[in-house]
Amino acid sequence: MSSKTRDWSSIYCEAILSGDILASNKVKQACERHLSDLKRKDFKYVYDIDRANKIIRYIEKLPDIKTGVPNKLALFQKFILSQLYGWVDDKGNRRFQKAYVSMARKNGKTILVSGIASYEFLYGKNPRYSRQIYCTANSKEQAKIAFSMVVKQLEKVRSVSSSINKRIRKVQNELTDNNSYSILRPLSKDTGSIDGFEPLVGILDEYHESKTTEMMEVLESGQTLLENPLTLIISTAGFNLNSPMYLQEYPYIMGILKGTIENDNYFAFCAEQDSEEEIENVDNWIKSNPLLEVDSQKDIMLKNIRKKLSEAQEKQDLGKTLTKNFNIWQSAMSESYLKGSDWKKSLIDLEPIINGKDVYIGLDLARVGDLSAVSWIIPIEETNQFYVNSHAFVGTRGGIENKSKRDQIDYARLKKMNFVTFSERDTGLIDDNQIVEYIDELVTANNLNVKFICYDRYSANNIINELSERYQMVDVAQGFATLSEPTKQFKKFVINGDIVHTNNVLLEIAVNNAILKNNNDAVQIDKSMYRNKIDPLAALMDAWTEAVNHDFENKGKADNDYYKNDFSF
């Protein structure tokens, strides 16, 4: 088989799945997906090796912006490009119209970004004319970095190709192709309106820095009438666990790769460490640094990563290194209560059967009338685990849009996902009746046996009196003496896999925002920080003060004895 017809995707998949190249679980799943799709009968997409190889040959002819020497692509880069360009429908339009590509820093992201952008700018099809390609980012400066990479590369091409030199014109921050009237330019949220905005390709560079979905929505709304668009997220992990990349895209691609979410038009490649413990073994580093497959790059990369890791360990500050060099999401706050990775590990795809189960309910009621939370804990006897979930009630005084901007939470989206309920009062304040009705419906619909409803006495109001008529209520004092040990226990239960949850975005936001305050060896979640963002977790912690004492039929009191002997945090 000649290099022109070589099936790079299958070669890569075989190397990964045979263990010849070590890879993350998500990369393995991406390979399994490709091989499985090749066998699908009556599939409306086909894999065209020639189309896949065309862009590979193009990029390997482009000069490196530092050395001027043509790029040589690594096998994983050929796999990514082959997937994006090899899979097409019967019209030749791309199958994957959205892609998520993530890996540690310095792993050849530049080649992919600049190569795809310039290829579509010069040789893209459908439309044949007036193609719009945008290098986008959260800030104008970051967007210009990606754009300038493309410009520098094409400048070198222009210097050796008279035909390309005649075709391309650069005016300020825009490249124009005289042959096809296509444009390539940077785009950020600071960019003003653009006439006839219709991005064939939008590259979201370092999407982890985006605090909202604004840029994604701008790109995708402009692609509505296009048959062959591509939105490409290409980024390392980050520190904002409430960013749309982590809260929305990351769990979504997890579902696609596991097969629990069906989306034939979304490609995902995530090179990451499967756990933090893996960094102790150098052989594992290739999982997040796939460029280590290239022998000529290996020694210098390992030397630099070792240096970064050693320095971070000596300073006892691993956060940045884990994120940038090993592509592991980390909270920016050292006092964070739970690691995002630990919370993600306790995620389950489907809610367990809860009908007829015991339930412990926690309430965190609004002090000023803009957010209240109901959380519940259900012991699952069959697995000896606790299932947790939550719902919030949002005041609308001042407008939901203003509240969403202030809290940096998309409440309208959460309402559509049934994680929150908006107040129906004319005043916009929380309606206690809605909370009572929600609890009653939750209990009745699932035939739950309410053990206790636990609440914070400071925020108690008339709702407590009403609920106490039919449920046993527990006043949870909000101090170290009451909450410290349950707070420690809950964290250990999460880490050990004894707490499970479905993908409740609202609760995850609360977990990501929770930080601890300490008093000697005692700890509790600081409710003065991010007051309007941790309410679901605060309600959950109130319920946990009683739920932790639940006796599983198969467990007895073994866990309580264990925790009496180990309360280190």
* Residue 181: CB atoms within 10 Å: 10
In 37-174, at which residue ranges do the beta strands (DSSP E only) sit? 46-47, 87-88, 98-102, 132-136, 168-170
Q: Do domains 8-270 and 344-565 have the same CATH topology?
A: no
In the chain, the amino acid numbered 498 is D
Domain map (residue ranges) of the chain: 8-270, 276-328, 344-565
- List, in order, residues 6 or more apart from 508 with CB less than 8 Å away: 241, 247, 343
Sole residue written with tokens 């796999």 = 79
Structure tokens at 470: 């039919």
pTM of the full predicted structure? Answer: 0.85
Q: Determine the distance from the C-alpha atom of residue 416 to the mean position of all C-alpha atoms in its chain, rounded to a whole number.
A: 19
The phi and psi torsions of 238 (rounded to 5 degrees) equal: -145, -165
Residues 363 and 536: their CA atoms lie apart, in Å, by 8
Q: ω into residue 244 within 30 of 0, thus cis? A: no
Structure tokens at 225: 């009438």
Which of 257, 322, 311, 318 has its CA nearest to residue 289?
A: 322
Structure tokens at 36: 């499985």
Which of 195, 158, 202 has its CA nearest to residue 178?
A: 158
CATH of 344-565, one of 3.30.420.240, 3.30.930.10, 3.10.20.340, 3.90.1640.30: 3.30.420.240
Cβ contact 466:314 at 8 Å: no
Asked if the 8-270 domain carries CATH number 3.30.1600.10, the reply is no
The phi and psi torsions of 201 (rounded to 5 degrees) equal: -130, 130
Q: Determine the distance from the C-alpha atom of residue 448 to the mean position of all C-alpha atoms in its chain, rounded to a whole number.
A: 33
Helix (H) or strand (E) holding 364: strand 358-364
The phi and psi torsions of 133 (rounded to 5 degrees) equal: -120, 130
Backbone conformation region of residue 539, classed left if phi is above 0, alpha if psi is from -120 to 50, else beta:
alpha
In the chain, the amino acid numbered 558 is A
What is the DSSP secondary-structure string of 275-338?
SGGGGGSGGGGGGT-GGGGSHHHHHHHHHHHHHHHHHHHHTT--HHHHHHHH-----S-TTBSS
Q: What is the pLDDT along the chain (569 residues), one digit of tens a residue?
A: 555 689 999 999 999 999 999 999 999 999 999 999 999 999 999 999 999 999 999 999 998 878 888 889 999 999 999 999 999 999 999 999 999 999 999 999 988 989 999 999 999 988 999 999 999 988 888 888 888 988 988 888 888 888 888 999 998 889 999 999 999 999 987 765 666 789 999 999 999 999 889 899 999 999 999 999 999 999 999 999 989 999 999 999 999 999 999 999 999 999 999 999 999 999 999 999 999 999 999 999 999 999 999 999 998 888 899 999 999 998 866 678 998 889 999 999 999 999 999 999 999 987 666 789 999 999 999 999 999 999 999 999 889 988 888 888 889 999 999 999 999 888 888 888 999 999 999 999 999 999 999 998 776 668 898 999 999 999 999 889 999 999 999 999 999 999 999 999 999 999 998 988 888 888 898 877 655 589 999 999 999 999 999 988 754 443 444 334 443 43
